[in-house]
Amino acid sequence: MTPLRIGTRGSHLALWQARAVATALENMGACAEIVTISTRGDRRQDVPLEALGGKGVFVKEIHEALLGGDIDLAVHSAKDMAAVSPHGLTIAATLKREDPRDALVLPIAAHEMPPYEHARIGTGSPRRIAQLRRLFPGATFDPIRGNVDTRLRKLDSGDVDVLVLACAGLKRLGFAQRISTPLDPSKCVPAPGQGIVAVEARRDDARTIEILNAIDHAPSHAVLAAEQAVVAELGGGCQLPLGAYAEIKGSVLSIRAVVASPDGSEVIEAEASGASTDPVESGTRLARQLASRGARELLKL
């Protein structure tokens, strides 16, 4: 059997995700081969993401390889993806969502958060900064890039006093013990898709899509669709201060979203719920609630 070629970035976390997909496929009887692709976002660690064009710089070359037939499927952190897949591609599967929360991470020798008026918090995410300004007024925020282990080394060497990282990445890479304080999603709404591994395929590749459907975790796919619908309706991107988080309980999907000005001085929040069988409707309706209260104007600041 010809192996399915899985395209991925070369970071430790990206490779973990690709191997998880490969294992799921192999457990279903398929063969898989991992193809590592260098992206502009990985090559330019010295430049802030917003200057490079946002998180899309982590997926552009992978999309090109998929559309060009060099790979059969692509594995991404869903939070790095645009709300709408490029023409010709589709999200064919998602793995079960890991812990979606953000986390405060202290230096390995520290035992408590430094006084907020003095804290240097390591994050370049406008979404996180806008929300954390409310929790830690007076703190300063330093953009910090690199793989998870690189950021932890910078933290432990004193470059910053505390890091903000996704719980999912820390747990997947064996750093769960470094999570000092998980942040409640009601206080720091996660990025759309945070904690979800998404698998893209070409829309016209029926064979691969059929195989991927067998490893799809439907509830995670549904909440991702709801969260991405918020972004798509508002026209925001993954580098803007916009958070969205959906949960399914029984047959009901509930979703919460926040839009903030970059400095965190203005925040618009809203919640909605609807049928879990129509996640896009709930996400779109929530986005329109936010828009009616000025969210689009806030995102353009």
- Predicted confidence at residue 137, as pLDDT, reads 87
- Predicted confidence at residue 270, as pLDDT, reads 97
Q: Please state the pTM of the whole predicted model.
A: 0.91
Residue 279 has pLDDT above 50, yes or no: yes
> What domains does the chain contain, in order, with CATH numbers?
1-96+196-216 (3.40.190.10), 102-182 (3.40.190.10), 217-301 (3.30.160.40)
pLDDT digits (tens, 9 = 90+) for 6-22: 999 999 999 999 999 99
- Average pLDDT score over the chain: 90
Residues linked to residue 267 through DSSP beta bridges, in sequence order = 260
Residues of the chain above pLDDT 90, percent: 73
Residue 56 has pLDDT above 70, yes or no: no
- Predicted confidence at residue 44, as pLDDT, reads 52
What span, in angstroms and rounded, lies between the C-alpha atoms of 258 and 236? Answer: 12
pLDDT digits (tens, 9 = 90+) for 61-105: 999 999 999 999 999 999 989 888 999 999 999 999 999 999 999
Range with the lowest mean pLDDT among 115-119, 156-160, 268-272?
115-119
- Predicted confidence at residue 51, as pLDDT, reads 45
User: So which residues are the catalytic ones?
Assistant: 80
pLDDT digits (tens, 9 = 90+) for 204-250: 999 999 999 999 999 999 999 999 999 999 986 556 789 999 999 99
- Predicted confidence at residue 190, as pLDDT, reads 97
Side-chain-facing half-sphere of 120: CA atoms under 13 Å: 11
List the one residue out of 57, 45, 59 whose CA is nearest residue 8.
59
